[in-house]
């Protein structure tokens, strides 16, 4: 089994080769945003995967299973809202991301508690 570091590097290489998936006809009409939608038209060139049309989302572009949902640092990114939630984290596998709704005072408390528990905080 490959190490987490190797898997993260492999995921990075796969992502570099992955095209930017765009919604069909988004380049033609201003009202159609680029957000991905599956092409469903019966005559759709993109659905039929014609040459010269943008690539479609496929399972083959996914990264290694062991590296999925990992932060580039190699930790699982866990959202934390208060000090009590820090106790559920495993310091070897998990890193805390403080929720955006947390205020300055509670954020400070969470950071101090994370230091004592030796838990990595991704957005201190």
Model confidence pLDDT, tens digit, residues 60-90? 999 899 999 999 999 999 999 999 999 999 9
The yes-or-no verdict on residue 1 having pLDDT over 70 is no
Domain extent listing, the chain = 1-59, 76-117
**φ and ψ at 79, to 5 degrees?**
-80, 130
CA distances from 19 to 16, 52, 71, 113, 124 (A): 8, 13, 21, 41, 33
Model confidence pLDDT, tens digit, residues 98-115? 999 999 999 999 999 999
Determine the straight-line distance between the first and last CA of the chain, rounded to whole angstroms: 33
Are β-strands 76-80 and 94-98 bridged in parallel, bridged antiparallel, or unpaired? parallel
CA atoms within 13 A on the CB side of 31: 0
At 2, is the pLDDT very low, low, confident or very high (cuts 50, 70, 90)?
A: confident
Q: Is 70 left (phi over 0), alpha (psi -120 to 50) or beta?
A: beta
Model confidence pLDDT, tens digit, residues 16-58? 999 999 999 999 999 999 999 999 999 999 999 999 999 999 9
pLDDT reported for residue 42: 97
**φ and ψ at 8, to 5 degrees?**
-65, -35
What is the biggest distance separating any 2 CA atoms in the chain, rounded to whole angstroms? 61
Burial of 96 (0-12, 13-18, 19+ CB in 10 A): buried
The yes-or-no verdict on residue 59 having pLDDT over 70 is yes
């Amino acid at each position: 089994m490959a190490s987490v570091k190797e898997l993260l590097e492999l995921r990075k290489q796969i992502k570099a080769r992955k095209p930017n998936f765009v919604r069909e006809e988004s380049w033609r009409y201003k009202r159609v945003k680029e957000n991905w939608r599956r092409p469903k038209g019966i005559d759709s060139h993109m659905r039929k995967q014609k040459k010269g049309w943008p690539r479609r989302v496929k399972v083959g572009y996914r990264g290694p299973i062991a590296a999925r949902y990992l932060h580039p640092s190699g930790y699982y990114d866990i959202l934390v809202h208060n000090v009590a939630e820090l106790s559920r984290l495993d310091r070897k596998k998990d890193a805390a991301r403080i929720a955006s709704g947390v205020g300055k005072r509670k954020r400070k408390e969470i950071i101090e508690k994370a230091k004592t528990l030796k838990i990595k905080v991704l957005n201190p």
